[in-house]
Amino acid sequence: MNEQSTSLPYVESKVHPGRWYALGCLMIFYAVSMVDRFILSAVAQPVTQSLGLTNTQMGLLLGAGFAVLYAVAGIPVAYLIDKGNRVRIILAGVLLWSMMTAASAFTVDFTTLIICRAGVAIGEAVLTPAAMSLIGDMFQRKERALPTSLYMATGNIMATGAFLIGGAVYQYAGAQQLFPDMEAWRFTLLAVSLPGFLMIALFAFTVREPARVESHPAESTAVGRDALVPFLNDHKSMFIPFFIAVGMISSLTLGVISWAPTLLVRLHDLTASHASFVFGSVGLPTSVLGTLCLPWLATKVQKAGRQDGILLVLLLCIAIPVPAIIAGLLLDQYWLLVAAFGCCMMFLPSISVMTCLGMQLISPSRLRARTVAVNLLVINLFGYTVGPFLSGLLADRVFTGPTAIASALATMAAIIGPVAFLGFLFARRNFGLMMSAQRD
């Protein structure tokens, strides 16, 4: 399906002054949101002990307690973004998630903490849809690939960078005298909420709402109501196995990331701050390497004549890290586990970037935002809901002892890895055909 064969119109964006500065602000917001999202994973062990939580409850807090509302809130949020002032909506979202992150420092049990996590999820649900909309209106079509990739790569990198920051703040919290009676994990949650408040003031006074790229009203209505579902249905032989693979591997990715510091604490007796530092020190550079190299590799493969280049690299992103993490979790070797985390962080988080880029490449211009949104919905709903929760549930109900989480994640990897590999394999041929049909 090429763009010339559709009735979906394209209207060129005007050059927006200050667009790169605005992109920088959006990237900082994304980085702050990832810290506030993953900070609970960095301090999961002390929070569990302090509040008397089970592995299942912590899995809910790290996964479904965040992901369900994040995914569901995206639907009404997208409507508001399409109709309202995106800069103001972003400011409201940042204010909400920063306030709820700060409030998390004063929770007393599972119920109050999951309410705060829900607030963080609703606030953060605003950012990426609004950012994608702003980038589309601030940058001309030929420029959009780079700013979009830079924005998305920020989240990929900060998925591990958050643990470095969280570990450093938690270590400082143990020695600080500003609030000497406050538990270190509570001080950590309070401290990481502050950058959001500071960025709100900067963004409000320095970034203005760009003019929207408008189509004819009747055409816009047709696109909104009728275009996406038929497009997905027409190419269901690609989308069904593709999204099954995306959902499955996302659940494993988030399971590994969410429990990584806790695994180092339980299996190798590291402190919470040391565990976060080790995971962040290994995960951040490997994540950056994967973010830079894997899309480049897919592009090179595509230029060599393989229209399914992205799918071939996605298969590689499963075939290498899955056996590595199984070995690292089951063999009682510290450096093997650390190396397995590094391998996972090079390949697994990059899958979200690669799949979103794939959606952009195979979709007509007026459907790209929507197909990317569907892809993100699958990633977030399955990743955050299934991964941390299922691993926690298996650890509580099936396995026992300090190795329970490790055994649960290894079991998930042994099942999810082959299923996801087969999903991308089955989608590969039709993805290549859809790529060949594009002309832009």
Average pLDDT of the segment spanning 251-266: 89
- At 184-201, the pLDDT tens digits run 899 999 999 999 999 999
Residues 6 or more apart whose Cβ sits within 8 Å of residue 210: 16, 19, 134, 137, 138
Residue in the block written with tokens 């298996």: 394
pLDDT of residue 410 exceeding 90:
yes
pLDDT of residue 439: 55
Are 202 and 90 a contacting pair, CB within 8 Å? no
CA distance 36 to 227: 36
pLDDT of residue 245 exceeding 70:
yes
Helix, strand, or coil (residue 330): helix
Residues above pLDDT 90, as percent of the chain: 38
**Amino acid code (one letter) for 304:** A
Instruction: Calculate the alpha carbon distances from 128 to 69, 93, 123, 238 in Å.
Output: 15, 11, 11, 25
pLDDT of residue 4: 38
CA distance 110 to 147: 39
pLDDT of residue 107: 93
Q: What is the mean pLDDT of the chain?
A: 84
Handedness of CA 432, 434, 437, 440 (dihedral sign): negative
pLDDT of residue 3: 39
Length of the chain: 440
Average pLDDT of the segment spanning 10-25: 72
CA distance 78 to 76: 5
Handedness of CA 188, 192, 198, 204 (dihedral sign): negative
Q: Where in the chain is the domain with CATH 1.20.1250.20?
A: 16-213, 222-440
CA distance 253 to 272: 21
Q: How many Å from the N-terminal Cα to the C-terminal Cα in the chain?
A: 11
pLDDT of residue 15 exceeding 70:
no
- The top-level CATH class assigned to 222-440 is mainly alpha
CA distance 164 to 436: 42
CA distance 219 to 176: 59
What CATH code is assigned to 16-213? 1.20.1250.20
- At 269-321, the pLDDT tens digits run 888 878 888 988 898 889 888 887 888 888 788 878 888 888 999 999 999 99
Are 40 and 117 a contacting pair, CB within 8 Å? yes
pLDDT of residue 233: 92
The most confident of the ranges 19-33, 148-162, 223-237, 267-281 is 19-33
pLDDT of residue 345: 92
pLDDT of residue 144: 66
